Chain A
C-alpha cells in the first residue's frame, strides 16, 4: 500500500500541493482528476521521489519513502512512471528501451532476450523491436512507454495523462490493454487525467483535486451519487 499524508509542496509562492492525504490500495486503479495546473504532475513527482515535500510524508509498503528531510531514491521505490511527454529515448530502438531497464538485474543474455520478447508481446509491439521512437505512430509510442514502465515489474505504476493526445478508438484500445496488463501483473496504478471519461472507464476510485487540495476521494459510484460540492459536480459533469 502507498499512503500519502498531509503532503505539501511549494514552488516559491505557489502551493502546488496542499495538505493532501490519500491512499493507493493494492491492485486498485486510482484516477487523479483535476483542472490544468492543480498539482497533478507535482503529486506524481513527489510520489516517485523526484521532489521532496515541504511538509507531510509518503509511506510505501509501510516504509517512510519521503519526508521533508529524507528521501528514498526513485529507483528503490518499486515503482514506474509514464511521463506526460513519454520521455522516450530518441537514439534507442524499441528493444534497447526495454533492455536498458532489464540490464539492472544481472540476467543472462538469453533471459534478457526472452524477457524483451515477452514484454513487447504484452503491448503488441513484437516486430517493432528495431525501430526508433520517430519511426513509431503515436499509439505505438504510448505502448512503448508502457512496455518500458512494465519492464521493471513495478508494484506501483504512476501514469501522467498517458493517453491524452490520442483519438478515441486508440484510447479505448489502450485502456483495454492497460486493464488486461494490470490483471496479469498485479499492480496498483495512479492514473492522472483531466478527462472524466477516462477516469470512469479505468478507475476503481476517483480523487478530485482543486488547486493542490483534495476535494473528494471515493469509489466511482459514491462520488457520482454524492458529489461533495459544486466543483466536483462540474468537473465530473454531474447534472
Chain B
C-alpha cells in the first residue's frame, strides 16, 4: 500500500477528511491488483505446504499434502497419485480463477 503515492492520499484527505473514504475510493482501488495477486500467491504457496502445517496441526486432522505424505509411508501408491492429481487440479483451478479476475480488473480500468 506504500506504493500509492503519499501525495495522492493527501490530496484525497485534504478534500474529504474521511480516512475510510480515502481507503475505499483511493487506496484500495489503486492497490487492488497487488492485493489480489498477493492473496493468490499466498494461497497457492500455502495449499501445498507441509513443514509448518505438521508443527501446528491438531491431532485427528489432515490437510491434503499431509495425507499424501502419510500415505507415502504406507506405500498406498494409487491413493497418493490420486490425491496429487486433486491437489494439482485445485492449484490449477485457482490459478485460472486468478487469471480471470486479473483480466476482468484490467478490462475495468482500461
Residue of A73, A88, A89 with most chain B CB atoms under a 10 A cut-off = A89
Minimum distance in angstroms from B24 CB to a CB of chain A: 11
The reply to whether A91 and B13 form a contact with Cβ atoms under 8 Å apart is no
The reply to whether A73 and B11 form a contact with Cβ atoms under 8 Å apart is no
Task: Name the prevailing secondary structure of the B interface residues.
Answer: helix
The reply to whether A85 and B16 form a contact with Cβ atoms under 8 Å apart is no
The reply to whether A104 and B15 form a contact with Cβ atoms under 8 Å apart is yes
The reply to whether A87 and B11 form a contact with Cβ atoms under 8 Å apart is yes
The residues in B between 2 and 61 inclusive whose CB is less than 8 angstroms from any CB of A are 5, 7-8, 10-18, 25-26, 29-30
Contact partner of B16 (CB less than 8 A), chosen from A88, A103, A148, is: A103
Binds B, one of A61-69, A76-84, A123-131: A76-84
Minimum distance in angstroms from B56 CB to a CB of chain A: 39
**Contact digits for A42-85, partner B, Cβ 8 Å, 1 yes 0 no:** 00000010100000000000000000000001111000110111
User: How many interface contacts (CB-CB < 8 Å) are there between A and B?
Assistant: 54
CA distance A101 to B17 in the complex (A): 10
The reply to whether B12 and A48 form a contact with Cβ atoms under 8 Å apart is no
Contact partner of B7 (CB less than 8 A), chosen from A80, A87, A151, is: A87
CA distance A104 to B12 in the complex (A): 11
Q: A74-B13, A101-B15 are in contact. List 4 more A-B contacts (CB 8 A).
A: A73-B17, A87-B11, A91-B29, A104-B16
Q: Which residues of B contact A89 (CB under 8 A)?
A: 8, 11-12, 26, 30
Contact partner of B14 (CB less than 8 A), chosen from A81, A85, A88, is: A81
Return the chain B residue nearest A91 by Cβ. B29
**Contact digits for B55-75, partner A, Cβ 8 Å, 1 yes 0 no:** 000000000000000000000
Q: Does B109 reach chain A (CB closer than 8 Å)?
A: yes
Q: Which residues of A contact B17 (CB under 8 A)?
A: 73-76, 104
CA distance A158 to B8 in the complex (A): 16
The reply to whether B15 and A75 form a contact with Cβ atoms under 8 Å apart is yes
Q: Which residues of B contact A81 (CB under 8 A)?
A: 11, 14
Return the chain A residue nearest B25 by Cβ. A100
Return the chain A residue nearest B8 by Cβ. A87
Q: Which residues of B contact A148 (CB under 8 A)?
A: 11, 15
Given A87-B10, A91-B109, the answer on whether A75 and B5 have CB atoms closer than 8 Å is no
Q: Does A35 reach chain B (CB closer than 8 Å)?
A: no
Given A91-B29, A91-B30, the answer on whether A85 and B15 have CB atoms closer than 8 Å is no
Q: Which residues of A contact B26 (CB under 8 A)?
A: 89
15 contacts between A and B (CB under 8 A): A74-B14, A74-B17, A76-B17, A80-B14, A81-B14, A84-B7, A87-B7, A88-B11, A89-B8, A89-B30, A90-B30, A104-B15, A104-B17, A148-B15, A151-B15
The reply to whether B16 and A48 form a contact with Cβ atoms under 8 Å apart is no
A-B complex: 4 closest residue pairs judged by Cβ atoms: A75-B17, A87-B7, A87-B11, A101-B15
Return the chain A residue nearest B6 by Cβ. A87
The reply to whether A83 and B11 form a contact with Cβ atoms under 8 Å apart is yes
Given A85-B5, A100-B25, the answer on whether A75 and B30 have CB atoms closer than 8 Å is no
Q: Which residues of B contact A152 (CB under 8 A)?
A: 15
CA distance A10 to B8 in the complex (A): 24
**Contact digits for A188-206, partner B, Cβ 8 Å, 1 yes 0 no:** 0000000000000000000
